[in-house]
Structures are given as C-alpha cells and as structure tokens.
Chains A and B, each alone.
Chain A
Amino acid sequence: MRVMVIVKATKDSEEGVMPTTELLEAMGKYNEELVNAGIMMAGEGLHPSVKGKRIAFDGPSRTVIDGPFAETRELIAGFWLWEVKDMAEAVEWAKRCPNPMPGPSELEIRPVFEAADFGEAFTPELAEQEERLREKAAKR
C-alpha cells in the first residue's frame, strides 16, 4: 500500500527556522535507510505557508488568499510517499524518524487510495454499473 507521511508544521517551521546541520544529517541517514528498505517513493520539504496561496471555492467564485495561514497545527511542512506492506510497517518506520522539528512535533500517516481498496465489494459488474450510471448522469 502507498501512504503519505505528512510532517506537520510547527511555530519554528512557519517562522522559516532552517533545520540544523545535525538534523539534516540525521534526516539524510534516515532517508537512506528508507531507500535501502525499498519503501521510499518520493519526499519533499515545503516552504512556510507565508509563501503559499489558497484558492477558496464557493459555487462559481474563486478567491485567492495569500499566506501565511493562522492554524499552524493544521499546516504541513513536508511529506513522503512510501510503499509499505501495511499500516503497522508505516508506523514502525515513522517511529524511527529523527525528531523532525526542534520542539514537540507530529507525523501523520494517511493511506493513498488505490483501485485495490475497493476490493471485492467493487466487482467488475459494479464498476460497469457505475460506468453506466455516470453515462446516464452525463446525458441529463
């Protein structure tokens, strides 16, 4: 299964405090372990939200909102995409991560949707039926 491992933002990351050399080294080593275990698919760190934008949708309207955004705990500072056997494996690898931030911080693991997630409940017949319903809906 594929999971996204989200590094939650903190006050420091939002203030643009750059990671120390020690942390960069530790993270480099950790990333190497992830690669050698064959689970690392992708990963990036993100600039603070002050450099970000939001697009708000409401009916036909689109409003662009400039960062920074207030609710720090809900923001993200980086992510990985991992390919793991199950959630337990993802949790175990996440625990081995060096503290991603100087103070208290959090990683969040979220499974990525895959065709197999629909499993046996999503039989070929159901898929076909859904396709037909969609076509009908499109014609209306």
Chain B
Amino acid sequence: MVANETHQAIETVFRIEQARLIGGLARMVRDVSLAEELAQDALVTALSEWPKTGVPKNPGAWLMAAAKRRAIDGFRRNKMLVRKHAEIGLDLGEESENPVDAIATALDDDLGDELLGLIFTACHPILSSEARAALTLRLIGGLTTDEIARAFLSNEATIAQRIVRAKKTLGNAGLTYAVPRGPEREERLASVLEVIYLIFNEGYAATTGEDLIRPALCAEAQRLGRILAGLLPGEPEVQGLLSLMEIQASRLAARVAPDGSPILLTEQNRAHWDQLLIHRGLAALQRAEALGGANGPYALQAALAACHARARKAEDTDWQKIAGLYDTLREVMPSPVVDLNRAVAHSMAFGPETGLARLDEIDQAAGLHNYVPLPAARGDFLFRAGRLAEAKVEFERAADLTRNTREKAFFLARAAACSR
C-alpha cells in the first residue's frame, strides 16, 4: 500500500474508534483531557507501526492496548499517581500494595459501555448547553474545533476555549464517567436528548449557500440518535427523538425553493421527501409507542411529524389527529410555541374561527408581543375566514416585526393579496 493511502486508512480507523477509545480511557483515568491525549498518543504509535505491520485485525483493541500502555508509563512517572490511585482504589473497593498494579488491573477491566458513559459525560447538566453540544461533537462526533466553530457560526478560539473549560469543569467535578443509573438517569438522559436535538436544529436552521458543515449537523445528530437508540433500545424517548429527527430530515430536500426561500410544509413537493428516512422514523415511533412512551414530549412531536409524513398529499393530512396531539403536547410540554402550533392545527381541523379563539387565549399570555409567527398566523386565519381588511393589518404587522428580508417580502405579498 502507498504510504499516503495507509495514513488515510489509519486516520479513518482512528475516527471510527476514537469515541469508544476516549470513553474507555476517561473511565479509567477519570480525566477526559488525559484520555484524549492518550488516544492521540495511540494514534501516533499506530501511524508509525501500521505502515510496517499492516492494520491489525481488531484495530480498536490494538489502539486501546497501546493507550493503556501509555497510561501506565505515564502513571509510573507522574506525581498524580497517588491521587489517581486513591480514586481508582476506592472504586475497586480494595487496597493494593503496588499502585501501578492496581491501575493496570483497572485498565484491564472491560467496561463495555464506554461510549454510552462518554455521551452521558459530554452532555452532563453541569455544563451549559453550548458547551455540551461542542464537547459532544468533538468527543463523540470526532469533529475538529474548526469544524465545530464553522457549524455554530463562531470562531475557533471561542470554541476551543469553551471545550477546554468544559473539560476542566468535568475534571473538577470528580465524575466517574459511568452510565448513570437509578433516578439520576432520567434527568441525565433528558440532557443528552436535548443536546442531540439542539445539534439537529442548528443544522436544520442552516440556509442555502452557507458552509456545508452546518446542514451536516443534521446528519451528525441523526447518527448520534441512531447510536444512542442502539445503546439504549429500551428508552422510549430515545426512539421518540430519533423518529422526530428522521422524519424532519426526510423533508430537507423539499423545504427550500430554488431562490432560497422556505417552502411551507403543506406546499412542499412530497415526491422529494426521503421515503427511507420516513420509513425509519415511523418504525422508531412505533418502537417508542410499544415501549409505553406515546406521551413523551419527543414521541408526541414525532407523532405530529408522522401525521404529515403519512399524508401523500397535503389535503390528506389528518388535522383532527394533529389537533388532538397538540392538546396532549400542551399538557406535557407547555410553551407559547406549542400553543401557537395548536391554534394552527385547530384552525385546520375545526375552521379559522376556532383558530382565532385559540390565538386569543395565547394573546393574554405575556411576552409574545413581538413574536412574528403570532400576527402571521392571525393574518392567515383572518384571510381564510374572509376578513381581508383585518388580515391585511396582521400581515403588515408581521412584515414590520421580522428582521428576515425573505420573510418580510413574503408577508408583504400576503398583505397585498388581501387588497385584491
């Protein structure tokens, strides 16, 4: 094999293995930065060995063994030895005369769920959600700091600092890097799901012409969701989130017009929807429901997305079912945005006047005075109810409020249509 080719193959193997590698090492040395360094050292060793010997049959195990050797060498020299030994000794529940032996024993433990432990650690609630997202993309997604910075429209220094600080926070918190059990697990899992969905939405919000790394975040989040669903097959909300992402992603190719303007769900060319993703999304939703999770926030949102996915034509949409799902979602996950969407669903299921009544209920809630979708929805309901003069005022208000030029043009066009 040509040297360059070997190098590329080794880098790829490393990319595939690194999350598990870092996860396993972090659990052993109780320090995610050190784990990352050890993994990098193992890569360097592989880059010098494998071109001579060929890529080993089980490269993951090889890299782990190399990293463990480095860890033990490091401990032998390092003054941190005593502290680490104390921690690991505590964990093993035994005292050993020889600290190095104790560490070697700990390193030999096959922990099995390293990757899951690392996901839970990177998404730990002690970190801010931005820090969690950056760390997850770095450690599990294997993205570079530069890629993460571009993906979040930030600069490399800011992201690098965010990651360093996050690792420090984790290091100081004295975590075990294990998969949480018991009552803690639910809270921690919610945090993981939140991070994955945040990454997905960041990609979904990307517009045409932007750096391609941004839309790629959707694929990254889907992959994380699929990995998590494989690792935690019994968690209904994991299936719910996966379903939601797969179905939403199925529309990625259909939701933007050639001029870059967004196309409403009901006006998209459904032939462009990715049927494979829809199929996978519906299957995941079915699993969520079979696990008793039909009323989880993600499963409910997935069920809503599924209503649209099942309709071959916009006219076939089951708005009554959607209205009912929003009624439930509103109880499980109260938010003004859910209320607004519920009003839209009610307007479709029971007529624009019902929609207006729902909007009046929201209006009484504070904090939505400058929320663009509100006058936009009201304008639409009034328009459909034939109250054109009132509709025009609402569309103009929406046009005034928005800072997006494409949206502005859209609302002005709708306002103009009211005068005809």
Q: Which A residues are closer than 8 A to B by beta carbons? A: 35-39, 41-42, 81, 83, 85, 88-89, 91-93, 114-116, 119, 124-125, 127-128, 131
Secondary structure at the A interface, as helix, strand, loop or mixed, is helix
Residues of A within 8 A of B215 (CB): 116
- Whether B223 lies near A88 (C-beta < 8 A) is no
CB-defined contacts of B15 to chain A, threshold 8 Å: 85, 89
> Contacts of B212 on A, CB cut-off 8 Å?
116, 119
On whether the beta carbons of A83 and B259 are closer than 8 Å, the reply is no
Residues of B within 8 A of A81 (CB): 276
Proximity bits, B1-40, A CB within 8 Å = 1, else 0: 0000000110111011000000000000000000000000
Provide a sorted-by-A list of 27 A–B residue pairs whose CB atoms are within 8 angstroms. Answer: A35-B230, A36-B230, A37-B227, A38-B225, A38-B226, A39-B223, A39-B226, A41-B276, A41-B280, A42-B276, A83-B223, A88-B9, A88-B11, A88-B12, A89-B15, A89-B16, A91-B9, A92-B12, A92-B13, A114-B253, A115-B253, A119-B212, A124-B208, A124-B209, A124-B257, A128-B258, A131-B258
Give the size of the chain B interface in residues (CB under 8 angstroms).
27
A41 CB to nearest B CB, Å: 6
Find chain A residues with CB under 8 A from B231 CB. Answer: 36
Specify the main secondary structure of chain B where it touches its partner: helix
Q: How far is the CA of A112 from the CA of B212 in the complex (A)?
A: 18
**Which residues of B in the span 243-293 have a Cβ within 8 Å of any Cβ on A?**
253, 257-260, 276, 280
Q: Which among A83, A92, A119, A131 has the greatest number of chain B C-beta atoms within 10 A?
A: A92
Q: How far is the CB of A56 from chain B (nearest CB, A)?
A: 27
Chain A residues, CB < 8 A from B224: 38
Q: Is the CB of B223 within 8 A of A92?
A: no
Q: Which residues of B contact A38 (CB under 8 A)?
A: 222-227, 230
**What would 16 more interface pairs be, CB under 8 Å, given A37-B227, A115-B253, A128-B258?**
A35-B226, A36-B227, A37-B16, A38-B223, A38-B224, A39-B223, A41-B276, A91-B12, A92-B12, A114-B253, A124-B209, A124-B257, A124-B258, A124-B259, A124-B260, A127-B258
